[in-house]
């Protein structure tokens, strides 16, 4: 069997050894309940607050603005539903985009069922949202807007700071799902002008089951869970201290390395595209490099089926832009929103790199993908 090559880092990342070490140490030495008043509880509280500060540092926030959650989905749900319920007295109109993750889209659909009006903004052909389209959608009773920082499929980076300025001017609470961006590009909540920002642990080399939500000082949310008063009353339940410390360590590890990793991944991504293009002149790149995450290459070979290419390219683990169901092929909602021709969209492949990816893997993966495409074109 050929050596396995993992190019699906946008789906999830392996847990760093440094993170595993911190989690094991926390499990063994800081196992107390952070809410307990005695020494064992206080030591657990101390390491929890250290982790909170580490998470805050990677996005330029204050530690008291970080709420630990179970992951990106809970953070998105808390941000959207919690804010909309809190500010519902101001209005009933909300704005988001058609390219969001389901953990953003589905809360908006739920809120529509509760009587709120939602505008879903379409992207341009390059996968980005035009800030002018956001501003044009604003009404007198618009209270909330959510636009992801970077798309999980295409890697397209959105003009969040421009949208943030627009929302601020109109007194609209602004949330961004930054699950795919934190740790890959520089993220600063002040420069982005966001009120709420989502982080997912398993996208940045921490375990699954832990995430965080940045809540800007002064912004209020209504809790969507019921229990005790942990996490400023927004996330009841005894805090998972080992997981939070793991997330904190991942943020600490990545904070000063983001630029270096970004440069390395950009070079590897460019090499991968060049090797694929050399054998496939008609290859389509959906998002220009300057608008895309440094680690994400979203391409298609017209006339192929992405799932079939990956099936033939043994040992290359990646994702497609179309899912197969009962012999039919369903194009992703993101590509549909971008108005990509179905003939091309069916061949979409997302190749996402990580900090453990090396040049040999890229060359081997390109060779296997090219061979797979060549085989399929013969049939």
Please count the other Cβ atoms lying within 10 Å of the Cβ belonging to residue 310: 21
Which of 63, 145, 32 shows the shortest CA–CA distance to 97?
145
Which of 238, 214, 220 shows the shortest CA–CA distance to 53?
214
Please count the other Cβ atoms lying within 10 Å of the Cβ belonging to residue 378: 5
Q: Is 324 a catalytic residue?
A: yes
Residue 259, burial from CB neighbour count under 10 angstroms (0-12, 13-18, 19+): exposed
Query: Between β-strands 196-200 and 173-177, what pairing exists: parallel, antiparallel or unpaired?
Result: parallel
Which of 251, 187, 209, 193 shows the shortest CA–CA distance to 53?
251
Q: For residues 154 and 166, what is the distance between their CA atoms, to the nearest angstrom?
A: 25
Residues 6 or more apart in contact with residue 263 via CB below 8 angstroms: 294
Angle at alpha carbon of residue 124, lines to 123 and 129, rounded to 5°: 50
H-helix or E-strand spanning residue 142: strand 142-146
User: Of these residues, 145, 245, 251, 324, which one is catalytic?
Assistant: 324
Token pair 């990342």 is found at 13
Which of 313, 372, 262 shows the shortest CA–CA distance to 3?
313
Q: For residues 356 and 205, what is the distance between their CA atoms, to the nearest angstrom?
A: 10
Q: For residues 176 and 160, what is the distance between their CA atoms, to the nearest angstrom?
A: 8
Query: Between β-strands 142-146 and 93-97, what pairing exists: parallel, antiparallel or unpaired?
Result: parallel
The backbone region for 358, taken as left when phi is positive above 0, alpha when psi lies in -120 to 50, beta otherwise, is beta
- Report yes or no: 295 and 283 within 8 Å, Cβ to Cβ: no
* Dihedral sign for Cα atoms in the order 76, 79, 85, 91: negative
Q: For residues 84 and 80, what is the distance between their CA atoms, to the nearest angstrom?
A: 6
| Residues designated catalytic | 324
């Amino acid at each position: 069997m050929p050596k396995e090559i993992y190019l699906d880092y946008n789906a999830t990342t392996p847990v760093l050894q440094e993170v595993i070490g911190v989690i094991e140490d926390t499990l063994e030495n800081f196992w107390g309940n952070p809410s307990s008043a005695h020494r064992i509880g206080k030591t657990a509280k101390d390491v929890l607050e250290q982790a909170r500060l580490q998470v805050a540092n990677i996005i330029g926030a204050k530690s008291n603005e970080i709420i630990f959650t179970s992951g990106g989905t809970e953070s998105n749900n808390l941000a959207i539903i919690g804010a909309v319920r809190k500010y519902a007295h101001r209005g009933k109109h909300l704005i988001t985009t058609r390219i969001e993750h389901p953990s953003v889209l589905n809360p908006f659909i739920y809120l529509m069922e509760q009587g709120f009006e939602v505008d879903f903004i379409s992207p341009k052909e390059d996968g980005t949202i035009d800030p002018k389209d956001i501003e044009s959608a604003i009404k007198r009773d618009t209270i909330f807007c959510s636009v992801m920082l970077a798309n999980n499929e295409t890697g397209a980076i959105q003009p969040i700071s421009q949208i943030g300025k627009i929302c601020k001017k109109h007194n609209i609470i602004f949330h961004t799902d930054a699950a795919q961006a934190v740790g890959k590009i520089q993220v600063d909540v002040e420069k982005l002008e966001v009120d709420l920002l989502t982080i997912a642990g398993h996208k940045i080399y921490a375990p699954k089951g832990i995430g965080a939500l940045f809540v800007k000082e002064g912004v209020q949310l209504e809790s969507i869970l019921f229990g005790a008063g942990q996490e400023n009353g927004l996330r009841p339940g005894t805090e998972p201290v080992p997981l939070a410390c793991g997330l904190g360590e991942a943020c600490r590890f990545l904070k000063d390395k983001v630029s270096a990793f970004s440069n390395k991944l950009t070079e590897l991504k460019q090499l991968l595209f060049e090797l694929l293009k050399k054998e496939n002149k008609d290859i389509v790149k959906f998002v220009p490099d300057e608008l895309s995450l440094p680690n994400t290459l979203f391409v298609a070979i017209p006339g192929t089926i992405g799932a079939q290419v990956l099936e033939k390219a043994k040992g290359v683990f990646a994702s497609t832009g179309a899912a197969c169901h009962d012999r039919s092929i369903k194009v992703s909602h993101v590509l549909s929103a971008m108005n990509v021709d179905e003939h091309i969209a069916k061949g979409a492949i997302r190749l996402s790199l990580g900090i453990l990816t090396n040049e040999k893997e890229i060359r081997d993966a390109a060779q296997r993908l090219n061979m797979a495409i060549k085989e399929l074109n013969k049939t």
